Amino acid sequence: MSSVKVECVVKASAVIGEGPVWEESQQHLLFVDIAGQKIQRWDSVTNHTQSVETDDMVAFVVPRKSGGYVAGVGRSIVAVDWSTQKLTSLVDVDEDKPNNRFNDAKVDPIGRLFAGTMGREVRPTVVEKQQGSLFSVTSDLTVTKHLDQVDISNGLDWSLDQKTFFYIDSLSRTVDAFDYDSDTGSISNRRVIYRMEDGEGFPDGMTIDAEGRLWVACYNGGRVINIDPITGVRLQTVSLPVTKITSCCFGGVDYSDLYVTSASLGLNETEIKHQPLAGGVFRVTGLGVKGLPSNSFSG
C-alpha cells in the first residue's frame, strides 16, 4: 500500500548538514553545514545550490520578516544578506562560555526565535556536558534564557494549538514536552513523551506535521521516526541509506515531501564506503501526510 520513496537530492553536500527550512516563495530548501561553515540554498526547480560562507560554525538559518535571513554563527545571531553575502551581528549569547556554540533553532508562530546552545564537542555526541542553554529572542532582540544545564540543545517545534513546546536535549535520548504560553513565550511543566529505543540512536532535529505528529531525525539511527506526542507511540519509521540523520522539515509544492539532512563527520573510511551519500540531503515522498509552512523571525 505504501509508496514511500527516498532519494538523495543534494549529494554529499555537507560535513554536518542541518536545520532544513523550506522557502515556499522560491521553492528553495535552506540548510546549513555546521562544521563546513556555510549556509546552503538548494533550488528545487533548477537543482542548483548556492552558499554563503561563515567565519565560524553555523548552526541554523531562518527567514526574517524584514527580508533576508538570520543565522546562528558561533554564539552570535547574525543577519544574512544573501545578495551581498554580508553577515551582520545582531546579538550574542553565552558570553561567559566562550567554548559554546549555537545548535538547532526554530521560530514560533508569533515570530520569536528559539535557539539553543551546547558546549565544546570533542567528537560527535561527546560534549562538555550541561554547558548549553535554551534561549528565545524577540523582535526587539531581547534575549531570554529558558533552560540551562543542557547537553546538546536540539530539535524543537510547537503543537498546532501552540499550547505545547516540544524539545530535544539529545544526550537524554528523549523527546520532551512543555506547556507553552504563546502570549509570553514561556515554557513550564517539562515531561518526557518518548524514549528512544535500541537502534534509534540520539534524537536530533524534528518537525511537526499538519496532523500534529512529530517526525524526529535519529542521529546514529539511520532513520526518521514518526511519533504521536499524545500517546507516545511510534507510528512509522522511515529508513535512510546513511546513519547520521540530523534533521527534517516538510516542503515541496504542497508540503507533502519530507526533506532530511545528514552528516558525514565521525564516520570512518569503511563506513563512508558503505554510505557514500552521507552528508547529503534526502527527499522522502509518498508519506501521505503534509507539513506546515515555516515561520519567519519578526526581528
Distance CA(283)–CA(32), nearest Å, equals 16
Distance of CA 90 to the CA centre of its chain: 21
Taking CA 131 as the corner, what is the angle to CA 126 and CA 70, rounded to the nearest 5 degrees?
A: 95
Q: Which amino acid is at 208?
A: I
Nearer residue to ligand BGC within complex by CB, 57 or 87: 57
Q: Which of residues 37-96 bind ligand BGC (CB under 6 A)?
A: none
Write b or e for each residue in 89-117: b if 16 or more Cβ atoms lie within 10 A of its Cβ, otherwise e.
ebeebbeebeebbbbbbbbbeeebbbbbb
How are strands ordered across the β-sheet holding 132-137? 101-107, 113-118, 132-137, 143-150
Any catalytic annotation for residue 176? no
Alpha carbons within 13 A on the beta-carbon side of 160: 12
Q: Is residue 219 part of the contact set for ligand BGC (CB under 6 A)? A: yes
Q: CB under 5 to 8 A by kind: which of Ca ion, ligand BGC, none does 70 bind? A: none
Which residues are CB-contacts of 1 (< 8 A; sequence separation ≥ 6)? Answer: none
Among 170, 264, 275, 296, binds ligand BGC (CB under 6 A): 170
Q: CB under 5 to 8 A by kind: which of Ca ion, ligand BGC, none does 121 bind? A: ligand BGC
Among 69, 158, 202, 255, binds ligand BGC (CB under 6 A): 202
Nearer residue to ligand BGC within complex by CB, 94 or 204: 204
- Cell numbers given for 284: 522522502
Q: Is residue 102 part of the contact set for ligand BGC (CB under 6 A)? A: no
Nearer residue to Ca ion within complex by CB, 12 or 152: 152
Which of 104, 204, 209, 257 is labelled catalytic?
A: 204
Distance CA(60)–CA(106), nearest Å, equals 8
Distance CA(149)–CA(145), nearest Å, equals 11
Among 94, 108, 121, 257, binds ligand BGC (CB under 6 A): 121
Among 104, 121, 151, 209, binds Ca ion (CB under 5 A): 104
Work out whether the CA dihedral 87, 91, 93, 97 comes out positive or negative: positive
| Residues in contact with ligand BGC, shown as a per-residue x/- string from 236 to 255 under the rule CB under 6 A | ----------x---------
Alpha helices in the chain (DSSP H): 269-274
Q: Which of residues 21-40 bind ligand BGC (CB under 6 A)?
A: 34
Q: Is residue 261 part of the contact set for Ca ion (CB under 5 A)? A: no
Among 23, 94, 169, 204, binds Ca ion (CB under 5 A): 204
By annotation, the residues acting in catalysis are 204
Q: Which residues bind Ca ion (CB under 5 A)?
A: 104, 154, 204-205
Q: Which residues bind ligand BGC (CB under 6 A)?
A: 16, 18, 34, 103-104, 121, 124-125, 152, 154, 170, 202, 204, 219, 246
